[in-house]
């Protein structure tokens, strides 16, 4: 038995699977693919998460595309976070190419040209199904972690949510949250102090500044209604293929806070709503997070802890997470240790630091008698990768330098006309693209403030009226008293009156006597 036959048996024995699987390519020996030495990923272990890494231009996106296509074919829905904007071509079949035919002949997998059912989603005002969530759905703990708040300020956020719950005030968007923060230390200060304790103006000011920072990254577009139902990510088309949901993120590359906010809220919602799956034979949903370094580089320690917790727990819900980035070192070690599948494309060493990073990356893979991992990492060609997966018993499969199969769909974006046609047929666009701004905390508090001001004005007017009436009553009392005094005779008047009376009497008497 020659070296190739021994290697073929080694790969095939390590890739034995009783259940369904995805074949991603053929293992290579001495730089050449061995026909039939198929590298397989069991569906059973696809909820164990994974990593697709490699330098720019080495084929990471195409590997992502291959996995997404094959998952869809198996009836498993997929969610892709498309940072670079080059994944929408999944909706159209590959035009084919002689080099694709040559590649597939070498690896021993027939090539088929196919399109796949996709749904285009968006966090911004780009064309697509609008993704939104309410502030209430985030909850005080997650919102505090996203805002990177210290413990004291997190306590204030919890009080704000409690007040809104107690008073049946929905917290839907950021203007609701900002309004209640202002109300707590201004118009409603006495009410809050009576029921929930004193709230510091300095603390609410600091929280408001964090909220404004999020708004500047476009979060005001994300928070609100209609809130996206994660069950709509699980749709299957009439042919039994899972929908590939593509989130267009090309316009938020410079807004990592919004990206991480959305991703974490989505994972939290999935974890809280999906039922426990146990040890199922296939995942319910697989998420691919492209340019994963955007999340980890900008995340606070609290946010990283939250991500790590969800990565560890969400597997039980039948959900697989796959991070796509340039270097494995972009992913925190606590997360990297949870990733069962690794597809490592070529890394390039241009500096001493690059060489150190490659040696470190090589340690993430099982040892192999057939490869010097450090050397292979720098010599892989485009569309080639080191692959290490888990078998059905959770054991690492043999490390294989793999010539990856080509995508069945178009390796390019949709034209504007194609995208418009796709969206015009979407049921989710009709469901989610109408903006709803129903009465919530903002409107209710304004109404409450207006009513309080109206009552205050009425009370002030009543008091002024009473004061005026009292003054008028007092004035009338003074006038009446003055009138009585004017009609009473003083001594001088009495004397004069008496003298006049006497003269009148004497005058009458004199006249009588004369007669």
pLDDT at residue 514, rounded to an integer: 57
Q: What is the CATH number of the domain that holds 75?
A: 3.40.50.300
pLDDT digits 0-9 by tens, 397-445: 889 999 999 999 999 888 989 999 999 999 999 899 887 888 888 898 8
Residues of the chain with pLDDT below 70 are 1, 252-254, 298-300, 302, 480-515
Residues 96 and 244 in one domain: yes
Asked if residues 8 and 37 have their Cβ atoms less than 8 Å apart, the reply is yes
Phi-psi map region of 238: left, alpha, beta (phi>0 left; psi -120 to 50 alpha)? alpha
b vs e for 160-188, b when ≥16 Cβ sit within 10 Å of the residue's Cβ? bbebbeeeebbbbbbbbbbbbbbbbbeeb
Residues whose CB falls within 8 Å of the CB of residue 258, separated by 6 or more in sequence, listed in order: 123, 214, 217, 218, 219, 222, 252
Range of the domain at 96: 3-132+225-432
Residues 261 and 389 in one domain: yes
Domain boundary residue among 366, 399, 432? 432
Residues 350 and 406 in one domain: yes
Residue 286's φ and ψ, nearest 5 degrees, are -125, 130
Residues 124 and 214 in one domain: no
**DSSP H/E element including 385:** strand 384-388
**DSSP H/E element including 29:** strand 21-29
- Give the angle 295-87-250 at the CA atoms, nearest 5°: 50
Report residue 233 as tokens. 């990510």
Is residue 409 exposed (0-12), middle (13-18) or buried (19+ Cβ within 10 Å)? buried
Sheet containing strand 129-130, edge to edge, reads 32-42, 21-29, 400-404, 384-388, 341-344, 50-53, 319-325, 285-289, 78-82, 244-248, 118-122, 129-130
Eight-state DSSP code of residue 126: S
Residues 274 and 372 in one domain: yes
Torsion, Cα 415 421 426 430, to 10 degrees, reads 110
Residues 106 and 145 in one domain: no
3-class SS at 161?
A: helix
Residues 348 and 426 in one domain: yes
Q: How far is CA 63 from the centre of its chain?
A: 26
3-class SS at 429?
A: helix
Q: How many residues does the chain have?
A: 515
From residue 68, alpha-carbon distances to 117, 154, 184 in Å are 11, 39, 48
pLDDT at residue 454, rounded to an integer: 84
Query: What number of H helices and E strands is found in the chain?
Result: 19, 12
- Give the angle 392-81-242 at the CA atoms, nearest 5°: 55
Question: Distance between CA atoms of 126 and 122, rounded to whole angstroms?
Answer: 6
Residues 9 and 56 in one domain: yes
Residues 311 and 202 in one domain: no
Eight-state DSSP code of residue 438: -
Any idea which residue has 């004017």 for tokens?
486
Phi-psi map region of 377: left, alpha, beta (phi>0 left; psi -120 to 50 alpha)? alpha
Question: Distance between CA atoms of 319 and 78, rounded to whole angstroms?
Answer: 10
Report residue 87 as tokens. 């994944």
Residues 342 and 370 in one domain: yes
pLDDT at residue 1, rounded to an integer: 62
For the chain, the first-to-last Cα distance in angstroms comes to 183
- Which of 216, 213, 226, 204 has the alpha carbon at shortest distance from 137? 226
pLDDT at residue 493, rounded to an integer: 47
Domain boundary residue among 380, 404, 432? 432
- Which of 271, 390, 273 has the alpha carbon at shortest distance from 319? 271
Residues 235 and 366 in one domain: yes
Residue 319's φ and ψ, nearest 5 degrees, are -115, 130
Residues 91 and 231 in one domain: yes
The number of distinct structural domains making up the chain is: 3
Report residue 73 as tokens. 């074919």
pLDDT at residue 484, rounded to an integer: 56
pLDDT digits 0-9 by tens, 177-230: 999 999 999 888 888 888 888 888 999 999 999 999 888 878 888 888 988 999
Q: What is the DSSP string of 322-361?
A: EEEES-GGGS-HHHHTT--EEEE------SHHHHHHHHHH
- Which of 119, 120, 199 has the alpha carbon at shortest distance from 154? 199
Question: Distance between CA atoms of 365 and 12, rounded to whole angstroms?
Answer: 19
**DSSP H/E element including 476:** helix 441-487
Paired with 320 in beta bridges are 286
pLDDT at residue 481, rounded to an integer: 63
Domain boundary residue among 406, 422, 449? 449
Question: Distance between CA atoms of 60 and 52, rounded to whole angstroms?
Answer: 6
pLDDT at residue 250, rounded to an integer: 77
Quick one: three-class SS letters along 197-244?
Answer: CCCCHHHHHHHHHHHHHHHHCCHHHHECECCCCHHHHHCECCCCCECE
Question: Distance between CA atoms of 303 and 141, rounded to whole angstroms?
Answer: 11
Asked if residues 144 and 154 have their Cβ atoms less than 8 Å apart, the reply is yes
State pTM to two decimals: 0.83
């Amino acid at each position: 038995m020659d070296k190739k036959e021994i290697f073929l048996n080694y790969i095939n024995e390590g890739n034995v699977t009783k259940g369904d699987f995805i074949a991603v390519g053929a293992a290579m020996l001495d730089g050449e693919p061995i026909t039939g030495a198929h590298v397989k990923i069991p569906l059973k272990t696809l909820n164990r998460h994974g990593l697709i890494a490699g330098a720019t231009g080495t084929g990471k996106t195409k590997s992502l595309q291959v996995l997404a296509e094959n998952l869809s074919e198996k009836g498993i829905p997929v969610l892709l976070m498309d940072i670079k904007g080059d994944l929408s071509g999944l909706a159209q079949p590959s035009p084919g190419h002689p080099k694709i035919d040559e590649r597939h002949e070498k690896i021993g997998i027939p090539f088929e040209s196919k399109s796949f059912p996709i749904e285009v989603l968006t966090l911004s005002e780009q064309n697509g199904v609008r993704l939104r969530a309410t502030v209430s759905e985030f909850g005080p703990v997650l919102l505090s972690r996203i805002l990177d708040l210290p413990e004291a300020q997190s306590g204030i956020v919890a009080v704000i949510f409690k007040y809104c719950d107690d008073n049946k005030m929905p917290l839907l968007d950021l203007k609701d949250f900002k309004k209640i923060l202002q109300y707590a230390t201004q118009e409603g200060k006495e009410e809050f102090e009576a029921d929930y304790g004193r709230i510091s103006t300095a603390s609410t000011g600091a929280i408001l500044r964090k909220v404004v920072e999020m708004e500047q990254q476009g979060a005001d577009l994300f928070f609100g209604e209609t809130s996206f139902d994660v069950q709509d990510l699980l749709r299957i088309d009439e042919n039994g293929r899972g929908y590939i949901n593509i989130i267009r993120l090309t316009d938020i590359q410079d807004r990592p806070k919004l990206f991480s906010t959305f991703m974490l809220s989505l994972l939290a919602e999935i974890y809280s709503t999906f039922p426990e799956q146990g040890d199922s034979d296939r995942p319910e949903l697989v998420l691919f997070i492209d340019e994963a370094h955007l999340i980890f580089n900008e995340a606070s320690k609290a946010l990283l802890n939250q991500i790590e917790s969800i990565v560890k727990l969400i597997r039980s819900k039948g959900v697989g997470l796959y991070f796509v980035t340039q270097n494995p070192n972009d992913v925190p070690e606590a997360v990297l240790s949870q990733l069962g599948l690794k597809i490592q494309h070529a890394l390039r060493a241009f500096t001493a630091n690059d060489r150190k990073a490659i040696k470190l990356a090589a340690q993430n893979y099982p040892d192999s008698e057939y490869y010097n991992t450090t050397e292979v990492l720098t010599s892989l060609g485009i569309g080639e990768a080191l692959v290490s997966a888990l078998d059905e018993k959770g054991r690492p499969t043999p490390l294989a330098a793999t010539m990856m199969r080509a995508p069945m769909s178009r390796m390019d974006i949709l034209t504007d006309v194609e995208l418009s046609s796709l969206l015009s047929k979407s049921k989710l666009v009709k469901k989610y693209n109408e903006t709803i701004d129903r009465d919530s905390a903002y409107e209710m508090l304004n109404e409450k403030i207006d009513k309080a001001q109206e009552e205050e004005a009425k009370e002030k007017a009543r008091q002024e009226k009473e004061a005026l009436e009292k003054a008028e009553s007092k004035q009338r009392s003074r006038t009446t008293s003055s009138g009585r005094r004017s009609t009473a005779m003083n001594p001088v008047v009495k004397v004069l009156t008496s003298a006049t009376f006497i003269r009148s009497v004497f005058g009458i008497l004199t006249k009588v006597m004369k007669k």
